[in-house]
Structure 1
Amino acid sequence: MRLSHAPHPNQFALLSQRRFAPFFWTQFLGAGNDNLFKFALTVMVTYQIQVAWLAPEMAGLVIGALFILPFLLFSATSGQLADKHDKAALIRFVKNFEIAVMAIAAWGFVTHNVPVLLGCVFLMGLHSTLFGPVKFAYLPQHLDERELTGGNGMVEMGTFVSILLGNVAGGLLIAMPEVGATWVAVACVALAVLGRVLSQAVPVSPSTDPGLRINWNPVTETVRNLKLAHGNLVVFRSLLGISWMWFFGAVFLSQFPSFAKEVLHGDEQVASLLLVVFSVGIGVGSLLCEVLSRRHVEIGLVPLGAIGMSVFAIDLYFASRGLPPASGLSLSAFVAQPAHWRVMADLALLSLFAGLYSVPMYALIQLRSAPTHRARIIAANNILNALFMIVSSIAVGLLLHFGATIPQVFLIVGIANAIVAGYIFLLLPEYLLRFVAFVVTRLIYRFKVRGDEHLPVEGAAILVCNHVSFIDAVVLMGASPRPVVFIMDHRIFNLPVLGAMFRLLKAIPIASQRENPAVYEAAFARAAAHLDDGDLVCIFPEGAITKDGELGEFKAGVMKLLERNPVPVIPMALQNLWGSFFSRVERGTAMVRPFRRGFWSRVGLVAGEPVPAAAVTPAALRSRVSELLASPPYPR
């Protein structure tokens, strides 16, 4: 059983550690170089040189298609390579490859050889295809569960910032009279060399499946990767959720130039401002994930992100209607009009919520994929991302072809996002339930957790806790870094709303042996099966919710669980939940007078050190939970 730990105060501290910093800056420079090269080439063939066989209006589309094609062709192969070989060695190989490609591209820029440059676009797409599975499989090898969300947030933020800086630098350099192409060539090679130098410091990341035999057939391996990903439905549907986010984001990114010109009546600088606002929003949302998740993989943020994406995409449609007539507004003139601030706020918040949506999904996939084929799962994700982005381009093209305006496209995508997200959350109720737990523990209560380092991030264990209210399971779910299977009194399933939620949670109903022997035995059989699978199982040993706030006697249910599965037992205590809306007070009733304790009242959870199975007795566990209950409350 591996426990989580907290080796640093926040995600930014990772930048001072060798296990993260060289990797972060290597991928930062690589993403920046990709975009500097692509944007400089796009500007060059659009404004500076005439190519009979490549119309200027098609240049961006052709370059984008060439860059994304390797993701479809070679992602499956790159996933195998990342699982089979040391990831640090692969990173250095990829950076060597980047130097070679950028050297060829430098010659292409200096000689204005467009076919060579387009070939280099394909090769840089191959460079990114090889790096993608390595990048996301590297993180869980060097970061623990409490660091994954912050680490992914940093990578996501760094990627979008580097994309933004690369586009800006590419545009500025290529626009320099007479020497622009030369400066772009120098910059591309320099960034590649610097990335290679930094990659030398990336620590050893051993192979997770050294005996893997590489299948070099991209078609059959792509099918195999998708089947492999489908083997874990939570992971596979999360892959689909991430790919939908790329579909969603590609709609906005592809339409910024036209949106700025045709709807906002702005010049090229206004289009650049939209890209800046979008990139900053993604970066801020990605960094907020660690704070909001309390440094766990908190998938409850995903529904929150989906709600925000739809709300602000739809509001962007309304904000874009009835703007004052104008033509060719400069950046200063655009910003000076108050009506445009709502547009920018919608874009910023839309992208911020997209960051909240995507980062926990990436972290969940890394955490729940088997290490032996984690890189191949990421490769499957890259394949799906590429397919969804292609479908996004086709869908937007069809909508515009049939007369939809750009704001209407945003409206349609915002509504579609709500439908798709709702469907995903129905397929994966864990996301929705974690969102409910997130709301309860962040908005209804001021929930503080101590001793969460004792909650195991892998392996079977039994959690025991005092039973104070009807939402104890929801509160505990909000504290755990992974799903918990709850054994609960069968009568709670008859409650109108909570009963439906606990059924979605797949909680196990239990009755006393005297009341219903069949339900009693079935409950322990189901619990044992979950422990066999390495899951967390929580039991409330008192057998019922306390009627007076006092800790009751512990029954022998935990001992029956340990007979078949002698796993560690983690004692826990819920503090200050008695007397709240969901607990029994006033003649034993609950859920009366919602604000009898005020709003946002303090509630705590204390987790104790794991107790070995051999040392467990009901009396000893009760004594330990009693000690935890009496411990000082979480400091203000």
Structure 2
Amino acid sequence: MSSQFRLLREQRFRPFFLTQFLGAFNDNLFKNALVVLLTFQAASWTTIDPALLANLAAGIFILPFFLFSASAGQLADKYDKAWLTRLVKVLEIAIMAVALTGFLAHSLAVLLGALFLLGCHSTLFGPVKYALLPQHLHEDELVGGNALVEAGTFVAILLGTLVGGLLAAADHGDLWIAGGGLVVAVAGYLNSRGVPPAPAPEPGLKVNPNPISETWRNIGFARKDRPVFLAIMGISWFWLYGALFLAQFPAYAKNVLGGGEGTVTLLLATFTIGIGLGSLLCEKLSGGHVEIGLVPFGSIGLTLFGLDIALASPSVVPAGAPLAISAVLAQPGMFRVLLALLMLGVFGGFFIVPLYAMMQSRSAPAQRARIIAANNILNALFMVVGALSAGALLGAGLTIPMLFGVAALMNAAVAIYIYRLVPEFLLRFIVWLLVHSVYRLRTEGVEHIPAEGPAVLVCNHVSFVDALVIAAACRRPIRFVMDHRIFRWPVLSFVFRHSRAIPIAPAREDAAMMEAAFAEVSKALAEGELIGLFPEGKITADGELCPFRPGLARILEANPVPVVPMALRGLWGSMFSRKDGPALSRPFRRGLFSRIELVAGPALPPQTASLPQVQLQVAALRGDWK
């Protein structure tokens, strides 16, 4: 994880990180402090019921996300994002001044107005925050940067909530809240001055002031790329799921665990630490690239540990409530509840960070901020629907543990639905699982694979999983040309079909299939795709390179594209190779996590990529290690 923490020392990331951290901290400091203040001192402010006030405050804060997200996305695409960041921080200082006025005048209306303005501040900064990252970070830093932002945001939420509660309970708490918020806002502005320029992708954009039509237009931008839109839906679902759990913590602590305010803090801290750990681990588990294979892994954990919290929760409120934290921790099964909550956060990090990185990296740069604005609108909508649904289910007689169980089962259903619509998520998970459970893959030279445009990747053929290993190392989809018998191999056939592999047969077996394969290869290259080729035509029986067949020459004659020579090392002798007999005849003979390598050389121009030259290159890359 050293690479992502290195970003905190760099000028292109550190000022932005601190700015967004302080903004999230201030949002939650003021919001929670105001709710606590109004809950315990409501009589001196208004005759409205405190419970209604708390929900009113939450609704006022989230309302701007519906009203102004579309406009915020337009502004972030039209103007320099560093300039907008500083403008937002100036607005935050002004909002804290309004809050101070509200406290001095003892005016609830002014304070709720300040809360609404703080929601506007967060709404404006949302598209700026996530659209700025791809402009300042390289592709292999995007996951790490998002991980730090997500971890920092949840830590800021936790700290802001805790500090807000402490300030509200202090003598002259109203002045401490306003003064603290003002200091944090000024600190945020000072940090924002160090954010490097992030030029507007579409400076000539004409801003549409109609939030309804612009919201629909932004959602239309997001829907142009189906995986991006489903990533947004996945992010929105996570916020619904996470917010549902977070909203129940006070009642869960009091009515299920028998604790008090300290228990609520313990639950919130455990979940927040889990989110932070999961987010930071994403960069390590994904190899520094956008690895959407972690998303199904995350959804599995969100379901299992959500169910575990439901099953581990006490069925009867302990006697003597409210209990001190030490007494709550001494209850049977409490360690299991906290561990499940921690792991719920960890797997939430695995789920959310790759989705954010995918949304950013695959969105059209000229529309990225507006797509992120659409994401923010849908996030807010899902959270509101989740809150209403939770209220309805609890009102119908469900206990809080039962609500957690229903949410976990719904999470499984949503995940299955998304992965059926976009098999790419599940395919990447299978590939990721293979490479991280059976092998330890090291790559070298994979930067030679073109980031865009057509190319043919040529590699030696050692085992039945060669294509999966190469796919794990390459972030672009690859269409492999493979023997029709391997294409139909049990279990792996699912992966090969959904990754649009191209089955081929020798002319003597099925001439029509062979011609159809070459035609499909030409079509794919014409559309700018990558083709993966094993020109030996079969899996090696002795570990040595077999003579390359002329199919590569025929492909290049019809489609003069670059050829990237590659070599797999260490797969000979693994259970998927044919060493000492058929594949899988001696499972795990080399144990788990055996070391393998994929090495790629510089791309060869089609004019010089003769069959003998390519074979020499592949042999040189492989060396003596089979």
The one-letter code of the counterpart of 1:484 is I
Work out the CA distance in 2 between the residues paired with 1:564 and 1:208.
38
Partner residue of 1:367 out of 348, 361, 365: 361
**Aligned equivalent of 2:267:** 274
Partner residue of 1:385 out of 379, 390, 395: 379
Work out the CA distance in 2 between the residues paired with 1:523 and 1:611.
23
Deviation at 1:53, TM superposition (A): 5.0
Instruction: Specify whether residues 534 and 63 from structure 1 end up closer, same or farther in structure 2 by C-alpha distance, changes over 3 A only.
Output: farther
Correspondence list, 1:471-550, <5 A: 471-513=465-507, 515-550=509-544
Instruction: Specify whether residues 444 and 113 from structure 1 end up closer, same or farther in structure 2 by C-alpha distance, changes over 3 A only.
Output: same
The one-letter code of the counterpart of 1:534 is G
Deviation at 1:529, TM superposition (A): 3.5
**Aligned equivalent of 2:212:** 219
Work out the CA distance in 1 between the residues paired with 2:159 and 2:357.
25
Deviation at 1:164, TM superposition (A): 0.7
**Aligned equivalent of 1:4:** none
The one-letter code of the counterpart of 1:622 is Q
Asked if residue 596 in structure 1 is aligned to residue 557 in structure 2, the reply is no
Instruction: Specify whether residues 398 and 530 from structure 1 end up closer, same or farther in structure 2 by C-alpha distance, changes over 3 A only.
Output: same
**Aligned equivalent of 2:331:** 337
Equivalent position SS for 2:199: coil
Q: Deviations over 1:476-530 (max 9, x none)?
A: 1111123222222222232222222211221122233454444333333333333
Work out the CA distance in 1 between the residues paired with 2:106 and 2:370.
38
Asked if residue 173 in structure 1 is aligned to residue 167 in structure 2, the reply is yes
Q: Deviations over 1:208-241 (max 9, x none)?
A: 1222222211111111111111110111111111
Asked if residue 318 in structure 1 is aligned to residue 307 in structure 2, the reply is no
Asked if residue 129 in structure 1 is aligned to residue 126 in structure 2, the reply is no
**Aligned equivalent of 2:578:** 584
Instruction: Specify whether residues 86 and 559 from structure 1 end up closer, same or farther in structure 2 by C-alpha distance, changes over 3 A only.
Output: farther
The one-letter code of the counterpart of 1:540 is F
Deviation at 1:35, TM superposition (A): 0.5
Work out the CA distance in 1 between the residues paired with 2:80 and 2:554.
45
Work out the CA distance in 1 between the residues paired with 2:525 and 2:209.
39
Work out the CA distance in 1 between the residues paired with 2:47 and 2:208.
37
Output the aligned Cα RMSD.
Answer: 1.8
Aligned-residue sequence identity (percent) comes to: 53
Work out the CA distance in 1 between the residues paired with 2:522 and 2:188.
51
Work out the CA distance in 1 between the residues paired with 2:515 and 2:96.
67
Equivalent position SS for 1:463: strand
Work out the CA distance in 1 between the residues paired with 2:397 and 2:559.
64
Equivalent position SS for 1:613: coil
Equivalent position SS for 2:443: strand
Asked if residue 571 in structure 1 is aligned to residue 571 in structure 2, the reply is no
**Aligned equivalent of 2:601:** 608
Question: Relative to structure 2, which stretch is displaced further, 492-501 or 12-21?
Answer: 492-501
Correspondence list, 1:91-170, <5 A: 91-170=85-164
Work out the CA distance in 2 between the residues paired with 1:561 and 1:77.
49
Equivalent position SS for 2:599: strand
Deviation at 1:25, TM superposition (A): 0.5
Instruction: Specify whether residues 231 and 595 from structure 1 end up closer, same or farther in structure 2 by C-alpha distance, changes over 3 A only.
Output: same
Is the 8 Å Cα contact of residues 28 and 161 (structure 2) preserved in structure 1? Answer: yes
Partner residue of 1:44 out of 37, 40, 59: 37
Work out the CA distance in 2 between the residues paired with 1:592 and 1:157.
45
Is the 8 Å Cα contact of residues 569 and 625 (structure 2) preserved in structure 1? Answer: no
Is the 8 Å Cα contact of residues 257 and 314 (structure 2) preserved in structure 1? Answer: no
The one-letter code of the counterpart of 2:513 is V
Work out the CA distance in 1 between the residues paired with 2:21 and 2:336.
31
**Aligned equivalent of 2:283:** 290
Q: TM-score, normalised by structure 1?
A: 0.95
Unaligned regions of 5+ residues in structure 2, if any? none
**Aligned equivalent of 2:341:** 347
Work out the CA distance in 2 between the residues paired with 1:164 and 1:581.
48
Equivalent position SS for 2:607: helix
Work out the CA distance in 2 between the residues paired with 1:100 and 1:30.
14
Equivalent position SS for 2:596: strand
**Aligned equivalent of 1:624:** 617
Work out the CA distance in 1 between the residues paired with 2:527 and 2:359.
18
Work out the CA distance in 2 between the residues paired with 1:355 and 1:419.
19
Question: Relative to structure 2, which stretch is displaced further, 242-251 or 118-127?
Answer: 118-127
Unaligned regions of 5+ residues in structure 1, if any? 1-7
Instruction: Specify whether residues 331 and 456 from structure 1 end up closer, same or farther in structure 2 by C-alpha distance, changes over 3 A only.
Output: farther
Deviation at 1:9, TM superposition (A): 4.8
Work out the CA distance in 1 between the residues paired with 2:562 and 2:446.
15
Equivalent position SS for 1:571: strand
Work out the CA distance in 1 between the residues paired with 2:524 and 2:67.
39
Correspondence list, 1:546-561, <5 A: 546-561=540-555
Equivalent position SS for 1:509: strand
The one-letter code of the counterpart of 1:130 is L
Asked if residue 28 in structure 1 is aligned to residue 21 in structure 2, the reply is yes
Deviation at 1:338, TM superposition (A): 4.6
Q: Deviations over 1:284-336 (max 9, x none)?
A: 10000001111111111111111111111101111103467231011222223
The one-letter code of the counterpart of 1:105 is A
Instruction: Specify whether residues 609 and 266 from structure 1 end up closer, same or farther in structure 2 by C-alpha distance, changes over 3 A only.
Output: same
Work out the CA distance in 2 between the residues paired with 1:210 and 1:533.
31
Is the 8 Å Cα contact of residues 573 and 606 (structure 1) preserved in structure 2? Answer: yes
The one-letter code of the counterpart of 1:295 is G
Equivalent position SS for 1:464: strand
Question: Relative to structure 2, which stretch is displaced further, 274-283 or 94-103?
Answer: 94-103
